[in-house]
Amino acid sequence: MRIVVLGAGFGGLELTTLLSEEFGDDLDLVLIDKAEGFVFGFAKLDVMFGRATADDVLHHYAEIVKPGVRVVRSTIRSIDPVTKHVSTDAGDFEADILVVALGADLDPAGTPGLVEAGHEFYTVAGAFALRNVLEEFEGGRVVVGVTSTPFKCPPAPSETALLMHDLLNRRGLLDSSTVSLVMPMGVPIPPSPAASAALLEAFAERGIEWHPGKLITGLDPRRKVAQFSDGGEIGFDLFLGVPVHRAPAVVLESGMAVDGWIQVDPLTLETAFPDVYAVGDVTSIGTPKAGVFAEGQAIVAAARIAARLRGSGPAEATYDGRGLCYLEFGRDAVAKVDVMFRSGEAPVGSLEGPSAELVGDKVRFGSSRRSRWFGDAG
């Protein structure tokens, strides 16, 4: 029985690892991704703010060696969820079980003026390119803004504003600079009132201007202003944007998407198509679009696929909507946010920190995944 996994992010890597660990060489799994390698989302900020190099954070897919797993680096051209046929530049693949974990595509050009007048920090290329931009920035009005919803990693804009303040302070530019954060939510992290309160306190302490409930709809390159959805605007010398998010075109063309994203059973991750699962950012499951949630969903999908492979009857594993993420507060401190999204219930979340001790906790989180997914080569 062949399993084809599309996308090697948190979800695809965790599902592949779990099935390889259980079935070894008896597994027949193909993992397909077009990228050269994997970069943790939080590592993009490390490169952007000069704390790591691009080579430090890129983990090459070619180095994955797992029993029963074939890794194919190629662009996916079409997906037929009925026949479970996948066409790629490296050839066609027939699946008995198909898992779609392709994440969300980012479209900076989807916001007028962003490419011409601003910078985005959500793609790997965009974040890496900003390293030099920030090194050369001589101060002024910095605006961190969100251009669409939903968007990946909701804490990231707040982290960026705080780390930008750190950078300006370190270089003695605060007297001639301001940092503003524009977000569509009323608070920075709605599921966790404690985390939101801590962030708002940090913004106030540092003088970071907070603009809640506003979405950036465009940038005017001539006047150097960002325009709000409510008709207002804010001037900038440096604009750092969260670009428009969309399901990948190959997913939209496949007929799997409803209202822009793949709908799944929130407990089982099954799609409307038999033996087709979807996990992570490409779905409309209702959890934030973040790697830890994709990982949790992949664990459930893997358990259900494993039960099928063993022939042990229906799997009982269900997804609980829990996710844990780390939040950079600047000043060498990190917080940990634990949130739960149960279907039909209001989300709840807790906060630990911020503290210097949790910096090491975050490092261990990343290293444990690198070891599991990439082995010693990671």
Q: Which of 242, 271, 296 is the last residue of a domain?
A: 242
Question: Distance (Å, rounded) from C-alpha 173 to C-alpha 184?
Answer: 28
What are φ and ψ of residue 338, in 5° steps? -115, 115
pLDDT tens per residue across span 170-198: 999 999 999 999 999 999 998 899 999 99
Same domain, 115 and 67: no
Q: Is the pLDDT of residue 342 over 80?
A: no
Q: Is the dihedral of CA 2, 37, 302, 106 positive or negative?
A: negative
Q: Give the mean pLDDT of the chain.
A: 95
Distances (CA, A) of 23 to 67, 72, 300, 370: 8, 20, 16, 21
Q: Is the pLDDT of residue 341 over 90?
A: no
Mean pLDDT, range 287-309, rounded to an integer: 95
Same domain, 53 and 157: no
Q: Is the pLDDT of residue 339 over 50?
A: yes
Cα 126 to chain centroid distance, Å, stands at 14
- Rounded to two decimals, the pTM is 0.94
Question: Distance (Å, rounded) from C-alpha 163 to C-alpha 329?
Answer: 7
Residue 324 lies in a domain: no
| Token reading at 85 | 């046929």
Q: Is the pLDDT of residue 376 over 70?
A: no
Same domain, 45 and 114: no
Same domain, 74 and 139: no
| CATH code for the domain in which residue 169 is found | 3.50.50.60
Q: Provide the number of structural domains found in the chain.
A: 2
Instruction: Provide the pLDDT for residue 378.
Output: 41
Residue 216 lies in a domain: yes
Q: Which of 219, 242, 265 is the last residue of a domain?
A: 242
pLDDT tens per residue across span 10-66: 999 999 999 999 999 999 999 999 999 999 999 999 999 999 999 999 999 999 999
Same domain, 80 and 94: yes
Same domain, 157 and 222: yes
Q: Is the pLDDT of residue 294 over 50?
A: yes
Same domain, 23 and 125: no
Instruction: Provide the pLDDT for residue 314.
Output: 67
Residues 6+ apart with CB under 8 A from 151: 122, 242, 245, 289
Same domain, 96 and 180: no
Mean pLDDT, range 307-326, rounded to an integer: 87
Instruction: Please give the residue range of the domain that contains residue 65.
Output: 2-104+247-319
Q: Which of 201, 225, 242 is the last residue of a domain?
A: 242
Element (H, E) at 368: helix 357-374
Residue whose C-alpha is closest to residue 337's, from 301, 293, 284: 293
Residue 134 lies in a domain: yes
